[in-house]
């Protein structure tokens, strides 16, 4: 058992692609923050703002942003994608390209533009395409304004070649939006290398943080192309000057944060990111990859079909599987009853182990799966 994850005896957590457990240090950070609120009230607010600033720096390191000023702290991925969708100027007949397999957050927001602005969303089936990137690129035409994809597909874990997609977008003058929620914290990510214009990700999955706080990266060169639709004191260039009669949006990414920050979430997520960065993103990626390989071997030995990609360059932290003729929904419920936390996704059962899971966890999870069968 990893010292930062003292899960109750018998509980195997293989559900980081949904909601992750908190590390011990994150719980301690929340307890300290709550205790300080009870005993001191807001006396230390300046220190809290310092932690907010520090979190932007940690997130900038995680996505390789040019500066912490390029990071906004929003409520969730859906809000960040909505900022993009309703911040751009659209013309009737414009198109957006995305994938059929996207999580609803990265599909519904674009489809909502059609009745209002006449913008069509073109969905590409990645599971039937022998070359997913080529299929996405071919779906773009002269009216395509935006390509929006997940770095890693949530249901079966397909990892896309973001650099190839980003280069194609740049050549065509198409904006590139990446939902990175299934990659950040599990595998290294580089917003500059893939030439992403927008990157969004909640903190409650592979980043091991709380729900209710997300990172939103906007490439500096396109920041002012997004119209603002939310306004308040926190998004101003001079947020502490409450008597100032004139105002303007902040020059940096804070312009997308209209109101008071989620300080509790700030302290929690910062503690979780400290653990990830101390452990090392390359070390984490190696451990996650090893866990995925181990699970694939264990499951195939028991005659389960692997629905996730098996090629190392195509996979992340997700292993989705099934067995022909079996009710995988029933198997999922049996696993949950047996204290193996997982998900029913993509036509099968989805396991998503993180770096703190050991081979013993994976072996025991498969044994409980087989026993349920």
pLDDT at 47: 94
* Stretch 197-215: mean pLDDT: 98
CA distances from 208 to 26, 31, 241, 362, 367 (A): 9, 17, 35, 19, 26
pLDDT digits (tens, 9 = 90+) for 265-319: 999 999 999 999 999 999 999 999 999 999 999 999 999 999 999 999 999 999 9
Domain ranges of the chain: 12-22+280-372, 27-278
pLDDT at 240: 86
Global pTM reads 0.96
The distance of Cα 44 from the centroid of its chain, to the nearest Å, equals: 31
Q: Take residue 176 and report the two structure tokens written for it.
A: 């590139």
CATH of domain 27-278: 3.40.640.10
What percent of the chain lies above the pLDDT cut of 70?
Answer: 100
pLDDT at 307: 98
Q: Are 106 and 67 in contact (CB under 8 A)?
A: no
- Place 35 in a pLDDT band, splitting at 50, 70 and 90: very high
Closest CA to 78 of 98, 56, 107, 100: 107
Tell me which of 3.90.1150.10, 3.40.309.10, 1.10.287.1080, 3.40.50.720 is the CATH number of domain 12-22+280-372.
3.90.1150.10
Main-chain phi, psi angles of 198, to 5 degrees: -140, 140
Residue 1 pLDDT > 80: no
């Amino acid at each position: 058992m990893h010292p930062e994850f003292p899960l109750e005896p018998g509980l195997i957590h293989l559900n980081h692609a949904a909601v992750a457990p908190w590390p011990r240090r994150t719980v301690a950070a929340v307890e300290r923050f709550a205790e300080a609120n009870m005993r001191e009230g807001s006396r230390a607010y300046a220190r809290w703002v310092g932690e907010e600033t520090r979190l932007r720096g940690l997130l900038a390191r995680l996505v390789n942003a040019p500066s912490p000023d390029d990071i906004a702290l929003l409520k969730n991925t859906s809000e960040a994608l909505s900022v993009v969708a309703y911040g751009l100027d659209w013309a009737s007949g414009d198109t957006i390209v995305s994938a059929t397999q996207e999580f609803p957050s990265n599909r519904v927001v674009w489809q909502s533009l059609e009745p209002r602005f006449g913008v069509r969303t073109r969905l590409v089936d990645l599971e039937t395409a022998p070359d997913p990137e080529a299929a996405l690129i071919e779906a773009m035409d002269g009216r395509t304004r935006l390509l929006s994809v997940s770095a890693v597909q949530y249901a079966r874990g397909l990892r896309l070649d973001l650099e190839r997609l980003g280069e194609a977008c740049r050549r065509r003058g198409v904006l590139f939006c990446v939902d990175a929620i299934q990659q950040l914290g599990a595998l290294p990510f580089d917003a500059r290398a893939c030439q992403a214009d927008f990157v969004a990700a909640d903190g409650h999955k592979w980043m091991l943080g709380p729900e209710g706080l997300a990172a939103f990266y906007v490439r500096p060169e396109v920041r002012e192309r997004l119209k603002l639709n939310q306004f308040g004191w926190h998004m101003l260039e001079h947020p502490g000057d409450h008597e100032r009669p004139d105002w303007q949006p902040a020059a940096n990414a804070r312009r997308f944060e209209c109101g008071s920050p989620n300080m509790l979430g700030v302290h929690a997520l910062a503690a979780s990111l400290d653990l990830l960065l101390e452990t090392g993103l390359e070390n984490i990626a190696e451990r996650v990859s090893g866990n995925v390989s181990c699970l694939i071997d264990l499951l195939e030995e028991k005659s389960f079909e692997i629905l996730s990609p098996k090629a190392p360059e195509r996979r992340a932290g997700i292993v989705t599987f099934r067995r022909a003729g079996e009710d995988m929904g029933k198997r999922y419920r049996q696993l949950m009853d047996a204290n193996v936390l997982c998900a029913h996704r993509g036509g099968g059962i989805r396991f998503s182990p993180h770096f703190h899971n050991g081979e013993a966890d994976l072996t025991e999870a498969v044994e409980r799966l087989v026993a349920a069968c």
